Amino acid sequence: MSKMLHLINKSPYDRNALDSCLRLAQAGSSILLIEDGVYAALSNADSAEAVSKRMEELDIYVLGPDVSARGLDDTPLIDGINVVDYGGFVDLVVEHDVAQSWL
Amino acid sequence: MEPWEEEEGPEVVKRFMYVNRRAPYGTIYALECLEVVLIAAAFDQDVSVVFVDDGVFELKKDQDTTGIGMKNFSKTYRALDDYDVEKIYVEKESLEKRGLAADDLIIPVEVVAAAKLREIMAQQDVVISS
């Protein structure tokens, strides 16, 4: 079984990409929130409960520069979400067998 | 009078509303809409600007885009005041759903409930949404 990296770049308020990904991601795979997807990493997000529910079996990451760009550095993230930079993004791609972009 | 000059007629002022519905940076909509507003404001029309849905994220304080190599245009919203754009509305429901309050925003705005915003929207001559 291949280890998959799921990329979410859409706001959870605007699109259902995150919902579908959380529903379909295999245990042991990872989700990286980038661009407008970073709004889903905030602890006060509407979608936070759905994300937390799957965190025992999925690793969730968020791209730091996209968090800062949106003025969210001081906004608490969901517990257990890992912040990565662009170097970390590359590492994640290398560590996983397959990357899937949820457009 | 030169041929290209028209006789001064009664000035026509229309009510223009610009509705911002997208988050900044992920797409170009937010920046483009801001530019359209600033251009339109130069024509002495009755301009109002509305932020609903993810558009409320455009106004979040403390944006720092050095890490993503894009222009931080959030400070440009402060120029709306210089262009005499004073009718700036943010929908209360959109703001609250995203865990934000008026204090989190980069400019002073009027926070209005959807029911009130509906009335304001209905009074416009032209509504441009992005």
**Whats the size of chain A, residue-wise?**
103
- Per the structure, the complete domain to which residue A73 belongs is given by 4-102
Query: pLDDT value at position A1?
Result: 75
A42 interfaces chain B, CB cutoff of 8 Å:
yes
Using 50 as the pLDDT threshold, list the residues of chain A that sit under it. Answer: none
B26–A69 C-beta distance less than 8 A: no
B11-70, pLDDT tens digit by residue? 788 999 999 999 999 999 999 999 999 988 888 889 999 999 999 999 999 999 999 999
Chain B residues near residue A42 by CB distance under 8 angstroms: 99
Long-range contacts formed by B119-126: CB under 8 A, 24+ apart: B120/B17, B120/B48, B120/B50, B120/B89, B121/B17, B121/B19, B121/B50, B123/B15, B124/B15, B124/B16, B124/B17, B124/B48, B125/B14, B125/B15, B125/B16, B126/B14, B126/B15, B126/B16, B126/B17
Q: In this structure, are residues B25 and A35 in contact, taking their beta carbons and an 8 Å threshold?
A: yes
Domain at A98, CATH number: 3.40.1260.10
Residue (of A34, A31, A97) closest to A58 by Cα position: A31
Answer whether residue B119 shows pLDDT above 80. Answer: yes
Looking at the predicted complex, does its ipTM rise above 0.85?
yes
User: Hey, which residues 6-65 in chain B have their CB within 8 Å of chain A?
Assistant: 22-27, 53-54, 57, 60-65
A27 three-class SS:
coil
Q: How would residue B2 be classed by pLDDT, with cut points 50, 70 and 90?
A: confident
Domains and CATH numbers, chain B: 15-62+71-129 (3.40.1260.10)
For residue A12, give how far its alpha carbon lies from the nearest alpha carbon of chain B (Å). Answer: 10
**Phi, psi angle pair for B52, to nearest 5°:** -130, 170
B62–A71 C-beta distance less than 8 A: yes
Query: pLDDT value at position B9?
Result: 66
Query: pLDDT value at position B7?
Result: 67
Mutation target among B28, B56, B58, B63 for the A interface, most CBs of A within 10 A: B63
H or E element that contains B114? helix B114-122
Query: pLDDT value at position A77?
Result: 98
B98 interfaces chain A, CB cutoff of 8 Å:
yes
Answer whether residue B6 shows pLDDT above 80. Answer: no
Across the range B77-81, mean pLDDT stands at 95
A15 interfaces chain B, CB cutoff of 8 Å:
no
Answer whether residue B1 shows pLDDT above 70. Answer: no
Number of domains in chain A: 1
B63–A69 C-beta distance less than 8 A: yes
To the nearest whole number, what is the mean pLDDT of chain B? Answer: 93
